[in-house]
Amino acid sequence: MSLNPDSYIIGNAISRGNPLLEAILDAGLPYTSGPQWLSDHILQGRWVLALAGTHGKTTTSSMLAWILEYAGMSPGYLIGGVPRNFSTSAQLGKTPFFVIEADEYDSAFFDKRSKFIHYRPRTLVINNLEFDHADIFDDLAAIQRQFHHVVRTIPQNGLVIFPNNNPVINAVIEQGCWCEQSQFSLSDSALTWSAALVNTDGSCFDIFYQGEKQGRVNWQQIGVHNVSNALAVIAAAHHVGVTAEISCEALCLFAGVKRRMECLVDVNGVRVYDDFAHHPTAIASTLNGLRENVGTETILAVIELRSNTMRMGIHACELAKSVSAADQVLWFNPPDLSWGLDSVIDASTCDSEYYESIDRLITQILQRAKPGTHIVIMSNGSFSGLHQQLVERLQQHAE
């Protein structure tokens, strides 16, 4: 049966050689990319609030969408994860405001521009910027170029929000910026937006606007990186008229995002967390935040190097340092990994080992799982079902 669609939306996971794609091209049928379709059919005429950066896009998008929802603004949103304050990852919304996770990955096989180039934001957050996606970017400068392309699209009455003292982001802005700028900091109270930690683990902090206290956030999240995330989204919400006081109230009720330090189970004092971290900076931020939260209790990190950049070994020299807050680290070393983990193990300051079998990895985790142990499973994929297998085995042992 022929469906005879009006157009085909081609995702960036589809490449030449795909049978359906080849048939579309041979027949001269109309096609477009997902980001372009969003631009043409969803984002036209809307106030787009885009959350960009190497890390934290899903979390900050979820935070901002929740703040606007709490404030009664009924925003549309598109989030690349499962925000726990909502029942869906996307909705059209009932107002002009639209929150979108703005990814720098390319759009399609025929459009190598970053996805966010299509979104034309009026409010843009650049939360951080590091080298990643080595499969499509040659170097950091290539990524900066894409970020500047999106900065070029912000209207004069728009706003770009970014942390202070970040030379990589500053270099992007210095290439040209035609809208207002707002910076935030965890240490410089002279900036427009700043925060002061009440708890060192980031679970409680005060928000300041132009040096004046606006409110306190006492929430379920941990980690100084999440305090930075909060500052960014509070500044973004302020741009569309939400007071910092209301934003603080909303964030106190922020339930987080699935797979972002999500506690899967607590069995006899053994806690298992699922975390999406797949870059050394994100790994370090997550583990440091947990360390501040749990004190001297045992942290066991279980890590799969799954992203294209990790599998290419681009960040190999940074991995040992990234896990220094853990007591023990178990790495999954699949047979097809193009480089060896021996150098990471040798450079580690904590107990580190690697395994080439999921079954052996689970056996090792169970042997180390004592009361007071926090097991953090880190992967941006399914990890071959390790999460569920481990939870089931722990529950069986408990019975």
**pLDDT tens column, 138-184:** 889 999 999 999 999 999 999 999 999 899 999 999 999 999 999 99
DSSP string computed for 218-278: E-S--SHHHHHHHHHHHHHHHHTT--HHHHHHHHHT---BTTSSEEEEEETTEEEEEE---
In eight-state DSSP terms, residue 11 is P
β-partners of residue 212 are 209
Residue type at position 117: I
The pLDDT of residue 1: 36
How much is the average pLDDT of 123-143?
Answer: 86
The pLDDT of residue 311: 63
Is the pLDDT at 356 greater than 90? The verdict is no
pTM for the whole structure: 0.85
- Residues 315-327: tens digit of each pLDDT: 667 788 888 999 9
Closest CA to 364 of 355, 372, 373: 355
The pLDDT of residue 245: 97
Average pLDDT, the chain: 90
How much is the average pLDDT of 374-398?
Answer: 86
The pLDDT of residue 309: 64
The pLDDT of residue 221: 92
- Residues 261-279: tens digit of each pLDDT: 888 888 888 999 998 877 7
- Residues 16-34: tens digit of each pLDDT: 999 999 999 999 999 999 9
The pLDDT of residue 2: 58
- Separation CA 238–CA 161 (nearest Å): 11
Query: Cα Rg for the chain, rounded, in angstroms?
Result: 22
pLDDT class for 371, splitting at 50, 70, 90? very high
How much is the average pLDDT of 36-53?
Answer: 96
Winning range, highest mean pLDDT, from 80-89, 117-126, 184-193, 274-283:
117-126
pLDDT class for 236, splitting at 50, 70, 90? very high
Residue ranges of domains in the chain, CATH in brackets: 31-252 (3.40.1190.10), 262-398 (3.90.190.20)
The pLDDT of residue 394: 86
How much is the average pLDDT of 45-58?
Answer: 94
* Residue reference for tokens 């035609």: 178
- Residues 70-99: tens digit of each pLDDT: 999 999 999 998 899 999 999 999 999 999
Closest CA to 371 of 269, 271, 297: 269
Q: What percent of the chain has pLDDT above 70? A: 95
- Separation CA 301–CA 303 (nearest Å): 6
